[in-house]
Amino acid sequence: MLTFLASVWLVALPNIPLWRQLAQLPEVTGLRGLLFGLGLAFGVMGLTHALLSLLNWRWLLKPVLTVFLLSAASGTYFMWSYGIVIDANMIVNVLQTDPREAADLFNWRLLLSLGLLGVLPVWWLWRQPVRSMGVLRRLGGNLLAFIVSVAVLVISLMLIYQDFASVMRNHTQLRYLINPLNSFYAIGRVVAQPLERDNSKVEPIGQDAQLVLPAGTLPATLIVVVGETARMGNFGINGYARDTTPRLAREDVVSLRNVWSCGTSTATSLPCMFSHLGKEAYVKRSSNHETLVDVLQRAGLAVLWIDNQSGCKGTCARVPSISTVTLKVSPHCDSGECHDEVMLHELDKRIAELPAERRAKGVAVFMHQMGSHGPAYHKRVPPAFKRFQPECASNALQQCAREQVVNAYDNTIAYTDHFLAETIGWLKKQPGPSAMVYVADHGESLGENNLYLHGLPYAIAPDVQKQVPWITWTSPAFDQQRGLRKPCLQDKQMAPLSHDHYFHSVMGIAGVRSAEYKPGLDIYGTCMASQSRP
| Residue 464 beta carbon to Zn ion: minimum distance, rounded to whole angstroms | 14
Restricted to residues 355-384, the positions that interact with Zn ion (CB under 5 A) are none
Backbone φ and ψ of 497, nearest 5°: -130, 170
| Residue 371 beta carbon to Zn ion: minimum distance, rounded to whole angstroms | 8
User: DSSP readout, 274-323?
Assistant: T-SS-HHHHHT-SEEE--HHHHHHHTT-EEEEEE-SS--TTTTTTS-EEE
- Residues 185, 44 contacting (CB under 8 angstroms): no
Q: Which is nearer to Zn ion, 290 or 441 (CB)?
A: 441
| Residue 504 beta carbon to Zn ion: minimum distance, rounded to whole angstroms | 22
Q: How far is it, in rounded angstroms, from Cα 373 to Cα 329?
A: 21
Give 5: exposed, middle or buried? Use CB within 10 Å, 0-12, 13-18, 19+. Answer: middle
**CA nearest 220: which of 485, 438, 483, 481?**
481
Torsion sign (Cα): 344, 303, 266, 329: negative
| Residue 438 beta carbon to Zn ion: minimum distance, rounded to whole angstroms | 14
**CA nearest 187: which of 314, 49, 67?**
67
Restricted to residues 513-532, the positions that interact with Zn ion (CB under 5 A) are none
| Structure letter (DSSP) for residue 528 | B
| Residue 442 beta carbon to Zn ion: minimum distance, rounded to whole angstroms | 5
Cis peptide before 99 (omega within 30 of 0): no
Residue 186's contacts (CB-CB under 8 Å, 6 or more residues apart) are: 86, 87, 88, 90, 91, 176
Q: Which is nearer to Zn ion, 373 or 501 (CB)?
A: 373
Q: Which is nearer to Zn ion, 71 or 269 (CB)?
A: 269
| Number of helices (H), then strands (E), in the chain | 21, 14
| Residue 454 beta carbon to Zn ion: minimum distance, rounded to whole angstroms | 7
| Residue 326 beta carbon to Zn ion: minimum distance, rounded to whole angstroms | 22
Q: Which string of x and - marks every residue 392-431 that binds Zn ion (by CB under 5 A)?
A: ----------------------------------------
Figure out which of the listed residues 307, 340, 417, 441 binds Zn ion, where binding follows CB under 5 A: 441
Q: Which is nearer to Zn ion, 311 or 382 (CB)?
A: 311
| Residue 389 beta carbon to Zn ion: minimum distance, rounded to whole angstroms | 26
Chain CA centroid to CA 255, Å: 22
Q: How far is it, in rounded angstroms, from Cα 288 to Cα 204?
A: 9
Supply angle C-alpha 375, 379, 385, rounded to 5: 120
| Residue 228 beta carbon to Zn ion: minimum distance, rounded to whole angstroms | 5
Q: Which is nearer to Zn ion, 89 or 321 (CB)?
A: 89
Q: Which is nearer to Zn ion, 37 or 83 (CB)?
A: 83
Q: Which string of x and - marks every residue 91-130 that binds Zn ion (by CB under 5 A)?
A: ----------------------------------------
Q: Which stretch binds Zn ion (CB under 5 A): 94-102, 225-233, 323-331, 407-415?
A: 225-233
Figure out which of the listed residues 76, 183, 261, 266 binds Zn ion, where binding follows CB under 5 A: 266
Total number of residues that touch Zn ion (CB under 5 A): 3
- Residues 422, 341 contacting (CB under 8 angstroms): yes
**CA nearest 50: which of 146, 141, 119?**
146
Nearest position to Zn ion, beta carbon: 266
Q: Which is nearer to Zn ion, 266 or 498 (CB)?
A: 266
Cα–Cα distance list, 171 to 415, 431, 444, 448 (Å) = 37, 56, 21, 18
Q: Which stretch binds Zn ion (CB under 5 A): 82-90, 318-326, 436-444, 497-505?
A: 436-444
| Residue 83 beta carbon to Zn ion: minimum distance, rounded to whole angstroms | 17
- Residue-level length of the chain: 534
Backbone φ and ψ of 9, nearest 5°: -60, -50
Q: Which is nearer to Zn ion, 96 or 210 (CB)?
A: 96
Residue 290 binds to Zn ion (criterion: CB under 5 A)? no
Q: Which string of x and - marks every residue 183-222 that binds Zn ion (by CB under 5 A)?
A: ----------------------------------------
Q: How far is it, in rounded angstroms, from Cα 372 to Cα 209?
A: 34
Q: Which stretch binds Zn ion (CB under 5 A): 375-383, 433-441, 474-482, 519-527?
A: 433-441
Convert 449-462 to b/e letters by CB count within 10 Å (16 or more is b): eebbbbbbbbeebb
Q: Which is nearer to Zn ion, 410 or 441 (CB)?
A: 441
| Residue 247 beta carbon to Zn ion: minimum distance, rounded to whole angstroms | 23
Q: Which is nearer to Zn ion, 379 or 492 (CB)?
A: 379
User: DSSP readout, 183-202?
Assistant: HHHHHHHHHHHHHHSEEEEE
Q: Which stretch binds Zn ion (CB under 5 A): 121-129, 402-410, 430-438, 440-448?
A: 440-448
| Residue 151 beta carbon to Zn ion: minimum distance, rounded to whole angstroms | 45
Q: Which is nearer to Zn ion, 391 or 441 (CB)?
A: 441
Q: Which is nearer to Zn ion, 11 or 230 (CB)?
A: 230
| Contact positions vs Zn ion (CB under 5 A) | 228, 266, 441
